[in-house]
Amino acid sequence: MNKISSNAHYTMRPQLAGGRESSSEASWTPNTDVYVTESGLVIKVELAGMRKEDLELTVDGNQLRISGVRRDCCRAPQCKFVVMEINYGQFESLIELPPGYDLGHAKAAYQNGFLRIDVPGLTASQGLPGPVPVATAES
């Protein structure tokens, strides 16, 4: 059986005296689904509130790295949280695909807060390392 793995990590910002956050960025991994279809593999990543300009997808062999930054630009500067469950700051997800898929021909689209990456089954061509462009899907 082929195994699809995703390395996930989340690190809270260190707290300074008085409960203030340090200047270091938080690191988090977005929720991700990976499933097989008749035409290949689909990777669906939950990234609400993102701009496609803040996303970067890179291919290296059978690994897809999804990284970027989600900015928190909607809250008042002096607010005090009662509940904070939304992750902001730098994020990264590394997805290792099993053999048989062509990341060199992957297509990505960002729509309604989800990044969808379609990875076709491997054909005679081999994928080369490099970036994967992100398109904005029309509703």
CATH (residue range 5-136): 2.60.40.790
CA atoms of 117 and 108, how far apart (whole Å): 4
Beta-carbon neighbour count of residue 68 at 10 Å?
21
Query: Is the Cα dihedral 62, 133, 55, 38 positive or negative?
Result: negative
What is residue 31's predicted lDDT score, i.e. its pLDDT? 97
Joined tokens for residue 104: 């060199």
- pTM for the full model? 0.70
72-119 confidence digits (pLDDT tens): 888 888 899 899 999 999 999 999 999 999 998 999 999 999 999 999
Instruction: Give the H/E segment covering residue 1.
Output: none
Domain boundaries, the chain: 5-136
CA atoms of 76 and 48, how far apart (whole Å): 20
28-69 confidence digits (pLDDT tens): 999 999 999 999 999 999 999 999 899 999 999 999 999 999
CA atoms of 51 and 136, how far apart (whole Å): 10
- The DSSP call for residue 122 is P
